Amino acid sequence: MIGNDIVDLMQAAKDSNWQRNGFLDKLFTPEEQFLISSDIQPPTMVWLLWSMKESAYKINSRETKLRLFAPVKLVCKNLIIHNNKATGNVLCDGLLYYTQSQISEDYIHTLAADQEDELDRASVKIMDYHKEYRISNPQSVSHHGRYLALAYL
Amino acid sequence: MDREEIIARLKPIVSTYVEDKDQLENLNEATDFIKDLRINSANLVDIVLDVEEEFGIVIDNLSMEKMLNVGASIDIIETKLVQQ
């Protein structure tokens, strides 16, 4: 199973003040907060970690049939960033998810999968938002701000 | 504080994060922040932080897990106010 999440960085900057007191504590583990504070671009790390959690949550909530707002339970691990790509894991109550992210100036996109080989087999389309996306039958849909991200397996 | 009073204080907080304000007209205990009001999931944390400030309470992560709709939020606010 796959899940995907896109963050429109312009929209995120407008809608969220990540420096607000308590914001990071409620969303991120101490280790994740360390990654944020030690990054040369803290906002990019905030939204990268967030998109990892969101994409993994989309799989987790379908698998467990549980809807919860528990971002700190989705723990980002083994993050490796190289140029504009990142790979990592998200661990949630003993379940492991694999993630692959793309970082651009305008957005951050993460594809998550519960089987590692699904990351290679899946395809992702990122485009301007439009309403007729269901026609192509994507397995995971993410819309934020200007962007629509569709993932197929 | 009764549930009506809590909902009256909760509504202006929630409305800050709702793009389509028409959706707020029928706000009731069953209203879901994400499914009904289309609130961005990253803004759920702002609602939790605003609620903490407005009601002078601390919402732990376990309580926060359930804060996906108006009714559950009122339950948590009531519980935390009693605990104080």
Going from N- to C-terminal start, the domains of chain A cover: 2-152
Query: Is A70's Cβ below 8 Å from some Cβ in B?
Result: yes
Q: Which of A4, A26, A75 to mutate to test the interface with B (most CBs of B within 10 A)?
A: A26
Classify each residue of B40-68 as buried b or exposed e, where b means 16 or more C-beta atoms within 10 Å of its C-beta. Answer: bbbbbbbbbbbbbeebebebeeebbbbbb
Contact at CB, B52 and A54, closer than 8 angstroms: no
pLDDT, residue A135, reads: 78
CA distance A126 to A129: 9
| One-letter identity of residue A80 | I
Please report where in the chains the tokens 């290679």 appear, as a residue.
A120
pLDDT, residue B19, reads: 87
User: Which helix H or strand E contains A118, and what residues bound it?
Assistant: helix A116-121
Candidates A100, A117, A112, A111; CA nearest to A149 is: A111
Domain A2-152 CATH class label: alpha beta
pLDDT, residue A88, reads: 98
| Local confidence band at A150 (pLDDT 50, 70, 90 cut-offs) | very high
Q: Chain B interface residues facing chain A, Cβ-Cβ under 8 Å?
A: 17, 40-46, 48-49, 52, 61, 64-68
Question: Residue A89 corresponds to which tokens in the numbers above?
Answer: 């894991």
Domain that holds residue B24: 3-83
pLDDT per position as a tens digit, A17-63: 999 999 999 999 999 999 999 999 999 999 999 999 999 999 999 99
Chains A, B: CB pairs < 8 Å? 43
Q: Residue B66 is part of a domain; what is its CATH number?
A: 1.10.1200.10
Q: CA-based Rg of chain B, rounded to a whole angstrom?
A: 12
CA distance to A27, A66, B34, per residue, from B39 (Å): 16, 19, 5
Count of the separate structural domains present in chain B: 1
pLDDT, residue A129, reads: 86
Residues with Cβ < 8 Å from A12, sequence gap 6 or more?
A43, A47, A144, A145, B42
Question: Residue A48 corresponds to which tokens in the numbers above?
Answer: 């990268």
Per residue of chain B (84 residues), what is the pLDDT tens digit? Answer: 899 999 999 999 999 999 888 888 889 999 999 999 999 999 999 999 999 999 999 999 999 999 999 999 999 999 999 998
CA distance A112 to B46: 25
Query: Is A66's Cβ below 8 Å from some Cβ in B?
Result: no
Q: Which of B32, B40, B58 to mutate to test the interface with A (most CBs of A within 10 A)?
A: B40
Residue A2, helix vs strand vs coil: strand
For A96, list phi and psi in degrees, rounded to 5: -110, 135
Query: Is A30's Cβ below 8 Å from some Cβ in B?
Result: no
Closest residue on chain A to B32 (Cα): A67
Query: Is A33's Cβ below 8 Å from some Cβ in B?
Result: no
- Is the pLDDT confidence value at A131 over 80? no
Contact at CB, A26 and B40, closer than 8 angstroms: no
